[in-house]
């Protein structure tokens, strides 16, 4: 019995000694990893998230250029003797194409001023029966206004025309250049701007807008595809529930919001790029590979 009791006490003493050694090593390790805590200062209680981790939100950058591919945007201009059309192209993508027609759109001739390094077209207008002007970009995507007095055979740069022009910025589709200076467009991807006299209209976020002189005003109807200016009125190509194709509306530019139907191009495809121009009391629309008169 005595031998058994001595052995038991010896085992208990060994276990206690081992516990003391382990506790000492643990305390030393804690002091090494947390030197400040060893000084007796209270430490904050750690907090934990269960199930969901909330991250600090990353600020959304302000868009400086359009995220929408506008290289296929179209322009159509009608003079009494010569018709004109163009695709926009892009400074960093496909080249634009400018064409001329003597037979009201039956046939077209390429008159792109490629020899001037044209890289993009933003506006196209017929300023006389035979002649046209455009605002586009040449080397370095710098804006230039080009005019032709030879029915597209030759083009020249006119800085004074550029200074008086209204157009969407060639580098930032969220900005519109006016003679008085740049103004923000109503969305980051404006296109299809047309201007005549005091009337300026464009398409932004599937809506037609008009510049009041101080701000952009949304126009009826919605689901807009293209705009054109006819004297003091704005023509809007749009999708409508009662038109199985592309509908045209005439909107008074007096900001009254009144819109009247012009007609419907039944069976036309509203999914692609569209351009329109006034002709007499009607409208000519460039849709797909065809020109369509409405009504």
Say if strands 274-279 and 282-287 run parallel, antiparallel, or are unpaired: antiparallel
Contacts of 154 (CB under 8 A, 6+ apart): 148
Give the residue among 99, 135, 101 at the shortest CA–CA distance from 118: 135
Q: What is the pTM of this model?
A: 0.76
pLDDT truncated to tens, each residue of the chain (295 aa)? 444 444 444 444 454 454 444 444 444 444 444 444 333 333 333 332 222 233 333 333 333 333 445 888 999 999 999 999 999 999 999 999 999 999 999 999 999 999 999 999 999 999 999 999 999 998 899 999 999 999 999 999 999 999 999 999 999 999 999 999 999 999 999 999 999 999 999 999 999 999 999 999 999 889 999 999 999 899 999 999 999 999 999 998 776 668 999 999 999 999 999 999 999 889 999 999 999 999 8
What b/e sequence results for 220-254 when a residue is b if at least 16 CB atoms lie within 10 Å of its CB, and e otherwise?
ebeebbbbbbbeebbbbbbbbeebebbbbbbbebe
């Amino acid at each position: 019995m005595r031998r058994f009791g001595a052995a038991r006490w010896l085992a208990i003493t060994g276990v206690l000694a081992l516990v003391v050694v382990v506790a000492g090593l643990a305390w030393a390790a804690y002091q090494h990893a947390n030197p400040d805590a060893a000084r007796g200062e209270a430490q904050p209680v750690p907090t934990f998230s269960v199930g969901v981790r909330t991250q600090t939100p990353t600020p959304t950058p302000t868009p400086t250029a359009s995220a929408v591919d506008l290289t296929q945007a179209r322009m159509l201009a009608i003079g009494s003797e010569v018709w004109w059309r163009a695709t926009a192209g892009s400074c960093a993508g496909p080249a634009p194409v400018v064409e001329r027609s003597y037979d009201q759109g039956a046939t077209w001739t390429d008159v792109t001023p490629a020899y001037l390094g044209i890289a993009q077209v933003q506006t196209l207008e017929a300023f006389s029966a035979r002649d046209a002007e455009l605002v586009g970009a040449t080397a370095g995507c710098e804006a230039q206004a080009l005019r032709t007095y030879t029915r597209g055979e030759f083009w020249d740069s006119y800085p004074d025309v550029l200074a008086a022009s209204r157009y969407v910025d060639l580098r930032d589709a969220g900005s519109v250049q006016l003679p008085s200076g740049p103004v923000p467009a109503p969305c980051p991807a404006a296109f299809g701007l047309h201007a005549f006299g005091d009337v300026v209209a464009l398409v932004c976020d599937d809506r037609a807008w008009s510049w009041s002189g101080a701000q952009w005003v949304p126009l009826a109807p919605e689901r807009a595809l293209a705009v054109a200016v006819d004297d003091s009125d704005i023509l809007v190509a749009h999708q409508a529930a009662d038109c199985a194709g592309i509908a045209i509306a005439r909107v008074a530019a007096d900001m009254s919001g009144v819109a009247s139907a012009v007609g419907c191009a039944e069976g036309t495809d509203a999914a692609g790029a569209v351009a329109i121009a006034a002709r007499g009391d009607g409208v000519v629309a460039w849709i797909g590979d065809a020109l369509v008169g409405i009504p």
